[in-house]
Structure 1
């Protein structure tokens, strides 16, 4: 067995900062969305994904892939969103064994109401902390890592330009 490729001091510092950011950012986004819109970040992401799809609906499996959720996790979230009347599930007309998820008018309204505050929070937490020249650097770094983590381009962000 070969010796592990230990991180350099510079790599260790970068990794620790990235790991801390990966822990703190979702919590900050969740707290803001729950407070301002009554939605978790994942619920908002699910609704926003539906809002951007043609006809504002998707097959459950496609939505799970796009949001990088397991089917059981997505099902639990969809059950809560159905209770709030933000989505509906229906049997898929092309494949009666699967379900489609449809964004309701109430769900569309929730996205429209939540989006301005959410984008402002993203701007505050991320982009206001960067110099303009760092934004394309951040995009390039994230794209390079995503290409390795998601080589098939299943997650929405992986295929963005």
Structure 2
């Protein structure tokens, strides 16, 4: 085992700025979605992913990967969305062990209603706070981190 290398001043500043900004934005997004749409942020993201999928459905394992959650966490959220009539589950036609989450018409309407306020909040809380250059740097940097974490390229 190698000895830990402490963060230098620049690295610590980047880490703490990332934590503070991500927590503040997430808190605002979560509150706005709950107050205005009756959804949690994970539930909203599930609806978005299903809306973007062909025919509005995805296999549960693929959906869990896309929203970066555990299978049990996704199952819980899908259960809540099902009770609200926003999604339903169906058996995978090619593999009876597989289950698909399917966006309902009610789910599509809910997403259309919630999206404008959500996008306005994302804009005002994050996007509009940064220059085009900063957005590019942020996007490229965080995409690199996500890719390396997904592929196991980190130490």
Q: TM-score, normalised by structure 1?
A: 0.89
Is it true that 1:88 corresponds to 2:88 in the alignment? Answer: yes
2:19 alignment counterpart: 19
How many residues of Structure 1 are paired with residues of Structure 2 in the alignment? 152
Asked whether 1:143 is paired with 2:128, we answer: no
Q: Point out where structure 2 has 5 or more consecutive residues left out of the alignment.
A: none
Q: In the TM superposition, what whole-angstrom CA distance separates every residue of 1:12-37 from its partner, at most 9, and x where no partner exists? A: 12211112223222221110111111
In structure 1, stretches of 5+ residues that fail to align are 153-161
Corresponding residue of 2:108: 108
Give CA deviations for 1:57-92 in whole Å, capped at 9, x if unaligned. 111111111111111111111111011100011111
Q: Report the 3-state secondary structure (helix = DSSP H, G, I; strand = E; otherwise coil) of the residue aligned with 1:133.
A: helix
Given the two structures, how large is their TM-score scaled by the length of structure 2?
Answer: 0.92
Superposed counterparts of 1:1-161, under 5 Å? 2-151=2-151
Give the SS at the match of 1:68: coil
Task: State the distance in 2 between where 1:60 and 1:83 align.
Answer: 17
Q: Confirm or deny: 8 A CA contact 2:89 2:102 kept in the other structure.
A: yes
Cα distance in 1 between the residues matched to 2:144 and 2:62 = 23
